[in-house]
Structure 1
């Protein structure tokens, strides 16, 4: 995951470091406080603390996560990895047998077998998300939902972060592992989780975060099995009406038809179909082409209709219960801000609510009523907003002014944010949680491969990555106009921090005055440049410490791309980096295997339909090839073996089969374990084509800004810096 955005709500690629920001003062300031030493291996060192002796008391509000919290998080990630392995390899689960590939050619079989396993996991995750919704509603404490009056100038909305009480995670609240996994992924989208906690009256959950002590007690220290008492299981089943075990739950999903009648439908009825695009035509609830017919009224329900039903519910909350629309309550900096005093400037992020009340409510009700005959889509809602913001008189009425009917920049962002909650999401939450869990699965797999949890240097490893995380946060604070990309070790600390939402919020504001989001989707073509920039800045700020402590070909190429022979002669930072790199290569605990080292964390990379994407990919491949060749020449000069580029061409992934990716594959690309064609909403894709679904009203954004919900990202930031002005 990455940080993107600035105080003005715009994203920039950050592939070049501005000269005025590249001052020696910056390097010297941090270098004075940073001990210069060669980075030791993450796999060797002093024996770590026993897993049974973790101190999981919460650190102070403005402190990073503790060593023991990171260890407990690793235990939880290992439990998730084991769960995914068990489910994905369960033969014939959900009717998905490996035998489906028996009649295929050997070449097709190698491609299809991993996808069969992925489909099993995707259906399981879809069931888990549905179960999470029930648990969230019935087992977690609730307070009054946010209302418009709370946002007034004399309200107390700006202090809502102090309103939640820490929950006692007693046995009547503790969830099964699959439900906990969904909560984990939800919290790792901190602004979305914050918004939903506020709107839905769940601030106690936000204030508490994951209960590390209880989670640690439930996970076995050797097998990493998740074990709870019979009382916990019984309480969950009695309160929710669900089985403790996901697989023992109801075999069908229940949805409501447009007239509110319940329909029980299969989770999947997908057949293999085309081996190149398997399971694309399934009509079950977890399938791409979901369709269900109501036995009582004969009306058809599909995912598009469910999105409209979600919008209708939120519209009713606004009109009847005074609850603001999603996407309208947090500032561009991600903070809760009450309305300004009457007579001063208007509350811009709240604009969509005013617009609806001023004149759109009847039109929007009509659009959502048309779901009963299946003639409306989310695009029709977009079109209603599109016409409304062009209506000068309606805009004046909404803003209670006779001066101007022109939208302010933040009002445009607010429109985009509202629409982003519905493009690919029919759940009651701010984002598609199935996609969020699937994307997190790539990070879970990386942590399992690196296997820090079984290292004798576990405690010292966690201490080092926390220190590195603090420097990474400093980079985000110093350069808010750039994209900072973490390495896997930094991302572990970052993830752990976000799982204590209130503390992460306080830390983020104390360091940057922004609630820094953990962006869940970014176009893959931007990641490598941003990673190179981050690596360069880290090296300069630390007086020559290297960022990615990995010797795979990609990390070698990145380091080579921002250093030079001249720099090594005249720059102390480059000389120190070369010395640290030499010691890294001499360390027997460091491997060139990219699956065993902490290099770029890119599990949030997504593909796009941009016509420029293939061109950019070609350019990037050529740049990396040139840097790789330089790294090879330098290795030979120093008597080392050149880095092996084939490391990324043939590798085993979570589904247990080897996959071959010649030439073009690089670790910054979208997760190869996600086969987007089989999902209702592709977790690894955003649309940036002008006018495509996911892009918003004319005059609020350029192509791709709202794709995949990106306009709900950090600081209201937009893909590629294309925010409307």
Structure 2
């Protein structure tokens, strides 16, 4: 038996020690996927996503990773010298900015053919545009509202699940070669080559059209320049040739906001021209109604009352736009001060609406940041080997994807049980969730049918809140399904009982009482994929000091546990399969935010509230001993709080 002294040391470290006996290291039974899938009161004979769709998605992620590798390498002779001299991160941010330009051009000219084969042949976009479209779909609440509210994006709504369907139809996207007719059609519509690398060389000398926030005169600005003030650069600033006003991204965001303010839902001409676009971004779609015009109209009326100005008679649209921009001092901070009068105490709603106005592009999502936020997830899928060619071609390998799909449906069931949920997925669940979101409007319909509300995918969550939410998810999952949520072997971020039993979860997963479909296949990458899907992490400016202190504490705890586990493994006292952090992936919530990216965070399932801790804080105090007999062995654990 393990000595009492060893247990006490484990208690001090805030973890659990297991007695390891290799002679009883029984392998789990073969994995069997479920024959049906339960979500809430619904039983589905077929899953919402299939292994074939997950494989196609993983091929797409591999294509994204390969593209980023080429771009960050930067040795493209046709590219400008200053681009080649940039850091890899700067080059990637620039390239993604060009991709967003190309996505907008494609969305404005795309024809939504009915036949999938015809659409692939005539309209399938290049890989960089697919990358932007993919990131847009992974902000499903915004994607759903924008494709309803904005006339230029409504053709995307008619495509339903076209993004995922074309990936499955095309096979491995990495081998896709467009026809010469497709290349010529793209060039004639978008003014640049179909191939992204070649297009980047051409577009470097092209311009972006803007409108002066002060005098409303249109003019063109360069995308990049040596001073770092180009449209795609962080210090963008341009002098208006008509009035000499210095336009910035903030000023362009104010202009976009003012344009939306001055549209009138009661005006027949505005309704005919703009449709649902007469309402403000972030006000039309709710978690239960795709077009809640009553709410959107009330907010718009209040906005008109706050953003008005003294004039005789009915103001023209241009004069009103100019007045709003001037009143706000061409700054979104000025807009925010007045917008607080609109939303009163509803700060969450105010942040959502104002967050849709970051530049002059029509999208409510800052798509450059959205693409960059996915890089961490793509890297993890690549590092695990999931994105390698043929990784899941064999039946014995496909069970890993079937396990991910089963866990995803269980994740949806968990959300259906808690309407105010705020749950954090693991990497395998997130892969299936992302795949489902790529079905566009079909994902929206599935949410309403199965969970009776729209489930958003929020990847901009404050770091410490993310860690706490993952702790809550682990406890909720364990309580509802009587199986552990994660098997990856990494220390969990919190300090509750759920985290202190992490080491035991590998064993308890195979108990006879657990739903068999939730027991993972005993493959290292299957266990590792239950690591928290944190992507990157956001640190709020006002909480920088506290967040940094918490991060240092988590990092120190990780190092202590890994050092202790290494000693125990060498001494034969611990199963290497449950030791912390030996498969090379890092602990959750320790990834820094790239300097060029907007605030980013981990993935969460966002509902309309929070799923908080128990009345006593969700923890335990004092000391306790747990015994559980399993396969004739007694496991003894001790922990302190």
TM above 0.5, yes or no, is yes
The residue that corresponds to 2:374 in the other structure is 440
Q: Secondary structure at the match of 1:354?
A: helix
- Judged with a 3 Å threshold, the aligned counterparts in structure 2 of structure 1 residues 557 and 576 are, in CA distance, closer, same or farther, namely farther
- Judged with a 3 Å threshold, the aligned counterparts in structure 2 of structure 1 residues 228 and 381 are, in CA distance, closer, same or farther, namely same
Alignment partner of 1:669 is 2:590: yes
Listed as ranges, the gaps of 5+ residues in structure 1 are 1-35, 47-59, 101-114, 143-163, 271-281, 340-346, 390-406, 652-664, 687-709
* Alpha carbons 1:62, 1:510 under 8 Å: kept: no
Under a length normalisation based on structure 2, what TM-score does the superposition of the two structures give?
0.72
- Judged with a 3 Å threshold, the aligned counterparts in structure 2 of structure 1 residues 573 and 170 are, in CA distance, closer, same or farther, namely closer
Alignment partner of 1:78 is 2:62: yes
**Root mean square deviation, CA, Å:** 4.5
- Judged with a 3 Å threshold, the aligned counterparts in structure 2 of structure 1 residues 39 and 134 are, in CA distance, closer, same or farther, namely farther
Q: Where do 1:596-607 residues align within 5 Å?
A: 597-607=529-539
The residue that corresponds to 1:209 in the other structure is 161
Q: Where do 1:593-672 residues align within 5 Å?
A: 597-609=529-541, 610=543, 611-621=545-555, 638-641=573-576, 643=579, 666-670=587-591, 672=592
Alignment partner of 1:379 is 2:317: no
Choose the corresponding residue for 2:600, options 684, 704, 720: 684
The residue that corresponds to 2:203 in the other structure is 250
Q: Secondary structure at the match of 2:259?
A: helix
The residue that corresponds to 1:159 in the other structure is none
- Judged with a 3 Å threshold, the aligned counterparts in structure 2 of structure 1 residues 124 and 283 are, in CA distance, closer, same or farther, namely same
1:382-416 per-position Cα deviation (integer Å, ceiling 9, x unaligned): 23334567xxxxxxxxxxxxxxxxx6x7x765544
Alignment coverage as a number of residue pairs: 539
Mapped partners of 1:165, 1:355: distance in 2: 44
The residue that corresponds to 2:423 in the other structure is 484
* Alpha carbons 1:485, 1:600 under 8 Å: kept: yes
Instruction: Report how far residue 326 of structure 1 moved.
Output: 1.1
Instruction: Report how far residue 37 of structure 1 moved.
Output: 9.1
* Alpha carbons 2:468, 2:494 under 8 Å: kept: no
Q: Secondary structure at the match of 1:518?
A: strand
Choose the corresponding residue for 2:129, options 179, 190, 194: 179
1:477-501 per-position Cα deviation (integer Å, ceiling 9, x unaligned): 2233343211111111000001112
The residue that corresponds to 2:298 in the other structure is 351
Mapped partners of 1:490, 1:713: distance in 2: 11
Instruction: Report how far residue 179 of structure 1 moved.
Output: 0.8
Mapped partners of 1:74, 1:298: distance in 2: 49
Q: Where do 1:259-658 residues align within 5 Å?
A: 259-269=216-226, 282-318=228-264, 321-322=270-271, 323-331=278-286, 333-336=287-290, 338=292, 347-358=294-305, 360-362=307-309, 368-369=322-323, 375-387=329-341, 414-422=349-357, 424-452=358-386, 453=388, 454-455=390-391, 456=394, 457-544=396-483, 546-552=484-490, 561-563=499-501, 589-590=523-524, 597-609=529-541, 610=543, 611-621=545-555, 638-641=573-576, 643=579
The residue that corresponds to 1:16 in the other structure is none
Q: Secondary structure at the match of 1:605?
A: coil
Mapped partners of 1:374, 1:358: distance in 2: 15
Instruction: Report how far residue 419 of structure 1 moved.
Output: 1.7
1:162-183 per-position Cα deviation (integer Å, ceiling 9, x unaligned): xx99996253322111111101
Mapped partners of 1:232, 1:633: distance in 2: 60
Mapped partners of 1:350, 1:374: distance in 2: 23
Instruction: Report how far residue 334 of structure 1 moved.
Output: 4.9
Mapped partners of 1:316, 1:188: distance in 2: 30
Q: Secondary structure at the match of 2:48?
A: coil
More contact order relative to length (CA 8 Å, sep ≥ 6) = 1
Instruction: Report how far residue 218 of structure 1 moved.
Output: 4.3
The residue that corresponds to 1:6 in the other structure is none
- Judged with a 3 Å threshold, the aligned counterparts in structure 2 of structure 1 residues 269 and 225 are, in CA distance, closer, same or farther, namely farther
Instruction: Report how far residue 289 of structure 1 moved.
Output: 0.9
Mapped partners of 1:330, 1:370: distance in 2: 25
- Judged with a 3 Å threshold, the aligned counterparts in structure 2 of structure 1 residues 231 and 487 are, in CA distance, closer, same or farther, namely same
1:405-459 per-position Cα deviation (integer Å, ceiling 9, x unaligned): xx6x7x765544322212x343211110000000011111211222224324443
Q: Secondary structure at the match of 2:69?
A: helix
* Alpha carbons 2:145, 2:285 under 8 Å: kept: yes
Instruction: Report how far residue 550 of structure 1 moved.
Output: 2.3
